């Protein structure tokens, strides 16, 4: 049975496949490799990490979608204040990250300082399983979220930590606003913005 790349809402009960998909998608990402440097433990740690983000944060207060091989977490202007992790979520993430937790905290605080003040949609996470690469899963989710932002007449922001993804986002209308170097010798984040479009063709 072929896997479909048609976007559908991601429910909390989908936490296991969503987290496994994102763990595979981000295994070679410079930022997640910075936070989880051990090759042997990274896959399991990433599954726990994305499960926590999804079940305690974005799955409750964001707009989460999935295909059979990809997932995306978006935050609308209305959900921005609620999508901030609470104390229990922070404690859980700290346990998952272990000794790398201070680096993660510093990175989150630094990124928050560059957060735009204008009303916008925020693309927090998007990733497709490398095994299904080239089958349009990530693009389908990206178009779906951009259509929602366009319908509201709002821009979209994201931070990319993978240089290879920048041309992909530029293809969908994003432009680079600047670079943010993570503290402690971490990788670079590229802050990107996409202006709203009158049509929703992305």
Q: Please provide the average confidence, as pLDDT, over all residues in the chain.
A: 92
Q: How confident is the model at residue 133 (pLDDT cuts 50, 70, 90)?
A: confident
The H or E element spanning position 176 is: strand 174-181
Whether 43 is covered by a domain: the verdict is yes
Whether 199 is covered by a domain: the verdict is no
For residue 92, is pLDDT > 50?
yes
Reading the block at residue 22, the tokens are 């994102």
For residue 168, is pLDDT > 70?
yes
Whether 130 is covered by a domain: the verdict is yes
Whether 1 is covered by a domain: the verdict is no
Whether 2 is covered by a domain: the verdict is no
How far is 95 from 133, CA to CA, in rounded Å? Answer: 32
Give the pLDDT confidence score for residue 66 in this predicted structure.
97
Reading the block at residue 5, the tokens are 């790349």
How far is 92 from 168, CA to CA, in rounded Å? Answer: 33
Across the range 12-38, mean pLDDT stands at 96
Across the range 140-151, mean pLDDT stands at 97
Across the range 89-106, mean pLDDT stands at 93
Tell me the pTM. 0.92
Q: How confident is the model at residue 188 (pLDDT cuts 50, 70, 90)?
A: very high
Domain CATH number, residue 25: 3.40.630.30
pLDDT one-digit tens code per residue, 28-67: 999 999 999 999 999 999 999 999 999 999 999 999 999 9
Residue 114 sits in which domain range? 8-194
Across the range 67-93, mean pLDDT stands at 91
Give the pLDDT confidence score for residue 113 in this predicted structure.
80
The more confidently predicted of residues 13 and 4 is 13
Whether 201 is covered by a domain: the verdict is no
Of all residues in the chain, the percent with pLDDT exceeding 70 is: 97
Whether 160 is covered by a domain: the verdict is yes
How far is 56 from 95, CA to CA, in rounded Å? Answer: 15
In this predicted structure, which of 116-120, 159-163, 196-200 has the lowest mean pLDDT?
A: 196-200
Closest of 1, 7, 4, 44 to residue 140, by C-alpha: 7
Reading the block at residue 194, the tokens are 């996409």
Whether 139 is covered by a domain: the verdict is yes
| Count of domains observed in the chain | 1
Give the pLDDT confidence score for residue 158 in this predicted structure.
96
Across the range 75-101, mean pLDDT stands at 90
The answer to whether residues 135 and 5 touch, using CB atoms and an 8 Å cutoff, is: yes
For residue 146, is pLDDT > 80?
yes
Give the pLDDT confidence score for residue 199 in this predicted structure.
64
Q: How many other C-beta atoms lie within 10 A of the C-beta of residue 168?
A: 14
Give the pLDDT confidence score for residue 164 in this predicted structure.
92
């Amino acid at each position: 049975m072929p896997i479909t790349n048609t976007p559908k809402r991601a429910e909390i009960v989908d936490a296991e496949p969503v987290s496994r998909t994102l763990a595979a998608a981000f295994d070679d990402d410079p930022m997640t490799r910075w936070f989880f440097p051990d090759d042997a433990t990274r896959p399991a740690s990433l599954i726990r990490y994305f499960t926590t983000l999804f079940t305690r944060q974005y799955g409750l207060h964001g707009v989460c979608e999935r295909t059979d091989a990809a997932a995306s977490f978006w935050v609308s202007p209305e959900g921005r204040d609620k999508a901030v992790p609470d104390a229990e979520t922070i404690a859980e993430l700290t346990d998952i990250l272990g000794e790398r937790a201070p680096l993660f905290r510093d990175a989150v605080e630094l990124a928050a300082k560059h957060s735009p003040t204008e009303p916008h949609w925020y693309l927090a996470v998007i990733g497709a399983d490398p095994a299904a690469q080239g089958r349009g899963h990530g693009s389908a989710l990206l178009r779906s979220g951009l259509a929602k932002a366009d319908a509201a007449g709002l821009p979209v922001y994201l931070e990319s930590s993978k240089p290879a993804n920048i041309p992909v986002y530029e293809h969908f209308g994003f432009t680079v606003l600047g670079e943010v170097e993570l503290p402690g010798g971490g990788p670079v984040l590229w802050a990107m913005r996409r202006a709203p479009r009158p049509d929703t063709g992305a």
